[in-house]
Amino acid sequence: MSIQITSTHIPEVLYLIPERFEDERGFFMEIYRTDILSQHGILFEPCQENLSQSRHGVLRGLHHQLEVPQGKLVRVLQGEIFDVAVDIRRSSPTFGHWVAARLSDRLHDMLWIPPGFSHGFYVLSQQAAIAYTCTAPYLPNAQAKIRWNDPSLAITWPIDADNPPILSTADAGALDLEQADLYP
């Protein structure tokens, strides 16, 4: 069993593809193995697993927690998403940079987003179910948001200009990076 792990242009954000074993009955794959993940700097004890289901055109994010930062191992159980991680550590050489990956149920690929990053996704398929295993519990009062289309980030979301994304009221009112609460 193995998991193919590739660095992105932000070294702490990793792209993972688990090995898949198929036969006439279906398939099997290992999603989480501490021995393999720890060799690549992914060190955490899963604390919470979340499941989000959204329809085509929904954009969730960009979200992060300040007091208790969360790392997230993100994967798609059904459908396809455009997943984004933004480095919001002011002291980081990649502060304000972002990484994106298309994640799908076809590849069962994953994105490791460490603490110190804001996270968001856009649903490309008719609907998508997204699971993310977290390093810390969700704390509603600790959550902060950054505007998904902040011009200083210049994220190239694959959104049709004629069909704006579907946002929550909170996400629609999020602040730009320079105004948001961030990490030191």
Tell me the pLDDT tens digit for each residue of 126-139.
Answer: 999 999 999 999 99
Active-site choice (64, 119, 122, 132): 132
87 found inside a domain? yes
Q: 7, 14 in Cβ contact below 8 A? A: yes
Q: 113, 74 in Cβ contact below 8 A? A: yes
The model's pTM: 0.93
The number of distinct structural domains making up the chain is 1
Active site residue 15: no
What is the domain extent for residue 99?
46-172
CATH code, domain with 86: 2.60.120.10
User: Sheet harboring 98-104: ordered strands across?
Assistant: 98-104, 80-87, 117-123, 59-65, 143-145
pLDDT in tens, 19-56: 888 899 998 988 888 888 888 888 888 999 999 999 99
Active-site choice (56, 63, 138, 183): 63
Active site residue 97: no
11 found inside a domain? no
| Mean per-residue pLDDT, 77-81 | 98
Write out the H or E segment, with its range, that includes residue 172. helix 169-172
